Amino acid sequence: MRNEPGDLVIQNGIVLAAKDFNPGSPVGIIYEVIRLMNGQLLFLDDHLERLQNSCAKTGVKCPENAILISHLKMLIAKTSISFGNIRLLVYEKGDKTYNACLFVPHFYPSDEDYRKGVHAKTYSFERPEPTVKRWNENFRHSVNNYIQHNKIYEAILLNTQGELTEGSRSNLFFIDKYSRIYTAPEKMILPGIIRKHVLQLCSAYKFRVIEKAVSQSEADRMKSCFITGTSPKVLPIKQLDSITYNVQNPALRTIMDGFNAMIQKMDTR
């Protein structure tokens, strides 16, 4: 499901028309993308914690969470939008620090995507600061073109050691024949919010988790593959390059069902 953004931006607590918003160079922008569902900001505390961590690692002064939350609530109230993705940004211009939030276009998988899985292809790239969520305009433009050209849902990043680390906007998991779950260690990736909660579900369901980046040569020995993220939630990969995976794997479906149940509980609070 594709949707368009709203036409307002909240910058340092001031309402702007989106057409008048200009954060300047995107190089230093620290950001989060938060999903809004029925007016609820999902996993807000987790997103704010990661934003604060990214700012601390890059030396950017981040506003207090209470200020950021008030601006998010202002955006929701001013736009009357109850579903979608909000980008929350912190950036510096000159000697001043700014924060802004705005609705951005999103693309949610269809029911059929969740049933049948989606296609992905490998893409050679390593994030220079994998644990920091910093906007990279050149990478995003290049990988979006790659995704569109190949008509795939996601590009899976391949490092110089031949390891599959994460998606361009998601985290990556594999499942082997013993229902063991593989995912790259946090130091190699941007540790996603949904990834964190999926790992908690794996622990609750007694699935063994192995924090290891799966190599290209090992990928065809895995039985199932899935990605996690703000928009896809928990999404099966049907095919990665020429490798086909089982999208009906019981362990995968257990994780998907558990995550959806968690979201439903949050939505009814």
DSSP 3-state of 114: helix
Q: Is the pLDDT of residue 30 over 50?
A: yes
In this prediction, residue 269 carries a pLDDT of 46
pLDDT digits (tens, 9 = 90+) for 18-28: 888 888 765 67
DSSP-assigned letters across all residues of 1-67? -EE---SEEEETTEEEEGGG-----GGG-EEEEEEEETTEETTHHHHHHHHHHHHHHHTPPPPPHHH
Q: Are 74 and 41 in contact (CB under 8 A)?
A: no
Q: 204-259: per-residue pLDDT in tens?
A: 999 999 999 999 999 999 999 999 999 999 999 999 999 999 999 999 999 999 99
Q: Which segments of the chain does DSSP mark as H helices, in order? A: 44-58, 65-79, 111-116, 137-150, 193-204, 216-219, 250-267
d(CA 252, CA 250): 5
Q: What letter does residue 190 receive in the DSSP assignment?
A: -
Query: Are 103 and 41 in contact, with CB atoms under 8 Å apart?
Result: no
CA gap 107, 235 in Å, rounded: 13
Give residue 39's identity as a one-letter amino acid code: G
- With contact defined as beta carbons under 8 Å apart, do 227 and 184 qualify? no
The pLDDT of residue 165 is above 70? yes
Cβ(231)–Cβ(108) below 8 Å: yes
Q: Domains (ranges, CATH) in the chain? A: 2-106 (3.30.470.10), 111-267 (3.20.10.10)
Dihedral over alpha carbons 196, 6, 39, 254 (to 10 degrees): -40
What does the mean pLDDT of the chain come to?
Answer: 93
Mean pLDDT of all residues in 61-65:
94
Best CA proximity match to 193, nearest among 168, 170, 173? 170
Q: Is the pLDDT of residue 72 over 80?
A: yes
Output the pLDDT for position 132.
84
What share of the chain has pLDDT > 90, as a percent? 81
Tokens found for residue 210: 């192995």
Partnered with residue 76 across adjacent β-strands are none
Q: Is the pLDDT of residue 268 over 60?
A: no
**Measured at the alpha carbon of residue 218, what is the angle toward residues 214 and 220, in degrees to the nearest 5?**
115
DSSP state of 197: H
